[in-house]
Amino acid sequence: MGDTPGREGARKRRLLKPSLGSFEKNERKPEGTTSMGSLDYSEYLEEESSASAFTWEVKANDRTYNSRFKEKLFLCWRRKKYKGNVINTAKYNFFSFLPLNLYEQLRRMSNLYFLFIILLQALFPVISTIPWFTLFTPLICLIIIRAIRNLVDDIGRHRSDKSINNRPCQMLVGESFLFKKWKDLYVGDLVCLRNDNMVPADMLLLASTEPSSLCYVETADIDGETNLKYRQAPIVTHQELTSVKNMASFQGKVVCEEPNSRMHNFLGCLEWEGKKYSLDSGNILLRGCRIRNTDTCYGMVIYAGFDTKIMRNCGKVHLKSTKIDSLMNKLVILIFAFVVLISLALTCGFSMRVKKFRAGHYYVPDIYKYSVTSESFFIFLSFLILLSVMMPMAMFIIAEFIYLGNSFFIDWDMEMYYEPQDIAAKARNTSLSVQLGQVQYLFSDKTGTLTQNIMTFKTCCIGGIVYSPEKEEALNKENPYLWNKYADRKLFFRNARLLNIVRSNKDRMVQEFWRLLAICHTVMVEERGDKLLYQAASPDEEALVTAARNFGYVFLTRTQDSITVMELGEQRVYQVLAMMDFNSVRKRMSVLVRNPEGSIYLYTKGADTVILSRLRMKGLNKKEQITKAATEEALTSFAEQTLRTLCLAYKKVEEDMYKDWCQRHQDASVLLQNRAQALHRVYEEIEQNLQLLGVTAIEDRLQNGVPETIQCLKKGNIKVWVLTGDKQETAVNIGFACQLLSEDMLILQEEQIISILETYRENNSNLPQVKMAAMVVTGEFLVSVSSGLTVGPQKEQHTRGEGGLLEKPKQMPPGDDKLMRSTTGFMVQNKDNNTQEIPEVWQKQAFVELASRCQAVICCRVTPKQKALIVALVKKYQKVVTLAIGDGANDVNMIKTADIGVGLAGQEGMQAVQNSDYMLAQFCFLRRLLLVHGRWSYMRVCKFLRYFVYKTLAVMMVQIWFSFYNGFAAQPLYEAWFLALFNLLYTTLPVLYIGLFEQDVSDKQSLELPELYIAGQKDKLFNYLVFIQAMAHGTATSLVNFFMTLWVSRDIAGPISDYQSFAVVMATSGLLTVTMEVILIIKYWTILFVLAIFLSLCFYIVINYVTQRFWFFTISPKTFSFLYVNQNVLSQPSALLVVLLNVSVNTLPVLAFRVIQATLMQPSPKEKEKEEEEEEAAAAPPEEIPLLPRGRRSSYAFSHQEGYANLITQGTILRRPTMAHMHPDPMTSDEMLSTSNDAI
Nearest to 321 by CA among 145, 147, 152, 105: 105
Q: How far is CA 482 from CA 89, 489, 498, 935, in A?
A: 53, 9, 16, 54
b vs e for 540-573, b when ≥16 Cβ sit within 10 Å of the residue's Cβ?
bbbbbbbbbbbbbbbbbbbeeeebbbbbbeeebb
What is the C-alpha to C-alpha distance for residues 1030 and 124, in angstroms, rounded to an integer? 33
Q: How far is CA 715 from CA 238, 856, 999, 1015, in A?
A: 58, 13, 21, 13
Q: Residue 1123's pLDDT is what? A: 81
What backbone phi and psi angles, to 5 degrees, belong to 139? Answer: -65, -45
Do the Cβ atoms of 322 and 436 come closer than 8 Å?
Answer: no
Give first-to-last CA distance, the chain, whole Å.
40
* SS3 letters across 487-510: CCCCCCCCCHHHHHHHHHCCCHHH
What backbone phi and psi angles, to 5 degrees, belong to 903? Answer: -105, 135
Q: How many Cβ atoms from other residues are within 10 Å of residue 18's Cβ?
A: 12
What is the C-alpha to C-alpha distance for residues 1026 and 328, in angstroms, rounded to an integer? 13
Q: How many Cβ atoms from other residues are within 10 Å of residue 594's Cβ?
A: 18
Q: How many Cβ atoms from other residues are within 10 Å of residue 471's Cβ?
A: 8
964-970 long-range contacts (CB < 8 A, ≥24 apart) are: 964/349, 965/1046, 967/350, 967/353, 967/357, 968/346, 968/347, 968/349, 968/350, 968/353, 968/379, 969/350, 969/379, 970/127, 970/129, 970/346, 970/350, 970/379, 970/382, 970/383, 970/386
Q: How far is CA 220 from CA 233, 699, 888, in A?
A: 22, 19, 8
Would you give the distance in Å from CA 32 to the centre of its chain? 20
Nearest to 720 by CA among 872, 852, 857: 857
Q: How far is CA 1133 from CA 480, 897, 1114, 1129, in A?
A: 92, 63, 30, 9
What is the C-alpha to C-alpha distance for residues 155 and 151, in angstroms, rounded to an integer? 6
What is the C-alpha to C-alpha distance for residues 391 and 406, in angstroms, rounded to an integer? 24
Given its phi and psi angles, is residue 1164 left (phi above 0), alpha (psi -120 to 50 degrees) or beta? beta
What is the C-alpha to C-alpha distance for residues 1163 and 1166, in angstroms, rounded to an integer? 8
What is the C-alpha to C-alpha distance for residues 202 and 746, in angstroms, rounded to an integer? 42
Residues with active-site annotation: 445
Continuous segment of H or E residues that includes residue 5: helix 5-16
Q: How far is CA 625 from CA 372, 464, 1046, 1192, in A?
A: 106, 10, 98, 18
Do the Cβ atoms of 1126 and 977 come closer than 8 Å?
Answer: no
What is the C-alpha to C-alpha distance for residues 55 and 621, in angstroms, rounded to an integer? 68
What is the C-alpha to C-alpha distance for residues 594 and 602, in angstroms, rounded to an integer? 9
Helix, strand and coil content of the chain, in percent to the nearest 5, comes to 50, 20, 35
Nearest to 760 by CA among 747, 771, 774, 770: 770
Rg (CA), the chain: 37
Angle at 507 between CA 504 and CA 508, to 5 degrees: 130
Q: How many Cβ atoms from other residues are within 10 Å of residue 953's Cβ?
A: 21
Residue type, 855: Q
What is the C-alpha to C-alpha distance for residues 614 and 651, in angstroms, rounded to an integer? 11
What is the three-class DSSP state of 843? Answer: helix
Q: Residue 172's pLDDT is what? A: 93
Question: In sequence order, which ranges of 705-778 are alpha helices (DSSP H)?
Answer: 706-715, 728-737, 750-763
Do the Cβ atoms of 270 and 277 come closer than 8 Å?
Answer: yes
Tell me the mean pLDDT per 10 residues along the chain, length 1240: 39 34 33 37 46 79 89 78 87 89 85 86 75 76 87 83 91 91 94 92 93 84 71 91 91 92 86 90 90 91 91 77 88 90 92 76 58 84 86 86 93 92 88 93 88 85 90 65 82 86 91 94 81 81 90 89 91 92 85 94 92 86 87 89 90 93 89 85 92 91 90 93 86 87 84 81 67 83 68 36 37 32 31 46 84 89 86 91 88 90 75 85 94 95 95 92 87 85 88 94 93 93 94 95 86 68 92 95 94 94 87 79 84 89 94 87 63 52 45 63 68 51 40 35
* SS3 letters across 34-101: CCCCCCCHHHHHHHHHHHHCCCEEEECCCHHHHHCCEEEEECCEEEECCCCCCCCCCCCCCCCHHHHH
* Cβ burial, residue 1131 (10 Å; 0-12/13-18/19+): exposed
Given its phi and psi angles, is residue 808 left (phi above 0), alpha (psi -120 to 50 degrees) or beta? beta
Q: pTM of whole model > 0.85?
A: no
Report which DSSP code applies to 198.
B
Nearest to 1074 by CA among 1187, 958, 1190, 1158: 958
What is the three-class DSSP state of 651? Answer: strand
Q: How many Cβ atoms from other residues are within 10 Å of residue 475's Cβ?
A: 11
What is the C-alpha to C-alpha distance for residues 589 and 567, in angstroms, rounded to an integer? 22
Residue type, 99: P
